[in-house]
Structure formats: C-alpha cells, structure tokens
Amino acid sequence: MEVIIRPDTGSATELVARLISDAIKSKPDLVLGLATGRTMERLYARLTQMHKMEGLDFSSVRTFNLDEYAGLAPDDPNSYRFYMDKHLFNHINIDKRNTFLPDGSAEDLDSECARYERKIEEAGGIDLQLLGIGSDGHIGFNEPLSALRSRTRVKALTPATIAQNSPLFDDPARMPKRAMTMGVGTILDAKRVIMLVTGKSKAEVLAKAVEGPITSMISASALQLHPRCTIITDEDAASCMSEKNYYRWIFGNEPEWKAYHKI
Ligand code: F6R
C-alpha cells in the first residue's frame, strides 16, 4: 500500500483524474471499476472536463460499478445507475452498453450478484478499481464484518451508512436498507486499486484502515493485502495518520511520482 498526501481536495482529486487518464491512454479498452458518492462527484466533473478539453477518449473503456441499492430500478433518480449517467456517462463518449452496474430491480438479487461476478470475469477482470471510504470504513457497501474473501452479494446497510447517505434522498425514509455490492474479495482481485479520501470527517477511519490491524470491522483495512493499492488523500483526511512524513517523502522522491509533481 502507498499513501500519497496532497495539500487539498482539489489537488488530490486532480491527481486521481490524471492517473485514470494516463491509465486509459496506455490501455484504451481499460476495465475501470467505479464508485459513487460525494467524493467522486468532483472527480467525475474533472474527467468530463478532460474529455471535453483534452479529448480523453472513453470510447473503448468498459466500466463496472461497485454497488447498487437493492430495490431501486435504473431510472430511479436515487439509483447509482442514475448517478453515473448524471455525473459521468451522459457527458463523455462512453458506449453505455459497456457500462455495468448490478440491477437493483432484478427479481432474484442473488442470481443478479452471481451474474455480475461472471460479467467481470468475462471482461478479463478489473484493471483499475476506484474506491472511496465510508464513515464506518466500508469500501463499496462492504459493511463491518464483511468477509475479507466475500464476492458480490446483498448486504444489509449499517445505521452509520444510512445516516451518511439518506440525506441524499428527497425523502430520507425511502433509502433502501440493503444494497448489492462487489465483495472485498472481488475488489482485492482488481489489478490496481486507487482510493480517494478527502475531508476531516474521514481522518479517523482512514488512519485505522491504513495503519491499524487488518480487520473485517473496517473493510478498507483489507486493502493492506493488495499488491498495488494507492491511497490518495488531502491533508485533512490524512491528519490522524502517524507516518505522514514517510508518505510525503514517497511522493517527493519516488520516481513514479515525479511526473505528477506539478499537479
Ligand atoms: C459507493 C461507494 C461507497 C462510497 C463511500 C464514501 O459506490 O463505493 O463506498 O465511496 O460511502 O462516500 P462519500 O464520498 O459520499 O463520502
């Protein structure tokens, strides 16, 4: 695991946008794992801008989202499919037939989860998985006690997640209490993982995930097992970590980061 600390939300987001853009340029048919949430809105706005201003080409990219609310149809304004169309897919030259999310309106959710796993496999696996972190340490909707080898399945959401996300619903009581999510094991199978974390409210949980023991109580701590995982954070979200000087040294001195110093 590598931790990169940038001064503020804007520069952390810009760095992640550049890494994604470079990954697409070096593999135009990249299989990109996507997340939703407030943190990603800025990133998707920036990727949209890169498409419009710099011609970043998504025409051959395939995407798999981490999760979807159980019971919400794709055209529901609170579904993650709707979120993805609104914040990214409607503004770039991606072929929507190459964009995949679990179908929250499927009759048999367990079969839908198994189908989703197969789809990922058929695509050759995920090249680059983008992640955020929830206030309870979840990645995707892998709530505390998610098995570290879990695959895509239905998961009951915690009160913390319901409190975090229900304000995004017009009627907070309408927020589903269950979701379909890639498992921790599914995420760990991605060839590369980048987690973007911003803001003071994430500082404590991020320090536990990065510097604490690996535990199913904090699913993000499982990323310590991944051979190529980069956490990109702003100073606020980094504030509770103890090895910040080492992390800063990495960005300042390791050759792979030289090209990104001007961001
Ligand atoms: C949603 C997802 C979640 C979010 C996390 C942070 O697809 O993957 O794990 O990344 O809940 O959400 P925000 O950015 O709203 O704090």
Query: What pLDDT score was predicted for residue 195?
Result: 99
* pLDDT, tens only, 21-57: 999 999 999 999 999 999 999 999 999 999 999 999 9
The encoded tokens of residue 43 equal 């990133």
Mean pLDDT of 205-215: 98
What is the tally of structural domains in the chain?
1
> Would residue 67 show up in a list of annotated catalytic residues for this protein?
yes
Is ligand 1 within 6 A of the CB of residue 38? Answer: yes
Query: What pLDDT score was predicted for residue 118?
Result: 98
Distance 253 CA to ligand 1 centre (A): 31
Catalytic residue among 14, 112, 127, 143: 143
**Residue 238: pLDDT band by 50, 70, 90 thresholds?**
very high
* pLDDT, tens only, 139-186: 999 999 999 999 999 999 999 999 999 999 999 999 999 999 999 999
The identity of residue 102, as a single letter, is P
What domain range includes position 128? 2-260
Is ligand 1 within 6 A of the CB of residue 134? Answer: yes
10: CATH = 3.40.50.1360
Q: How many CB atoms lie within 10 A of CB 105?
A: 17
Is ligand 1 within 6 A of the CB of residue 132? Answer: yes
Q: Mean pLDDT over all residues of the chain?
A: 98
Is ligand 1 within 6 A of the CB of residue 88? Answer: no
Distance 130 CA to ligand 1 centre (A): 10
Query: What pLDDT score was predicted for residue 57?
Result: 98
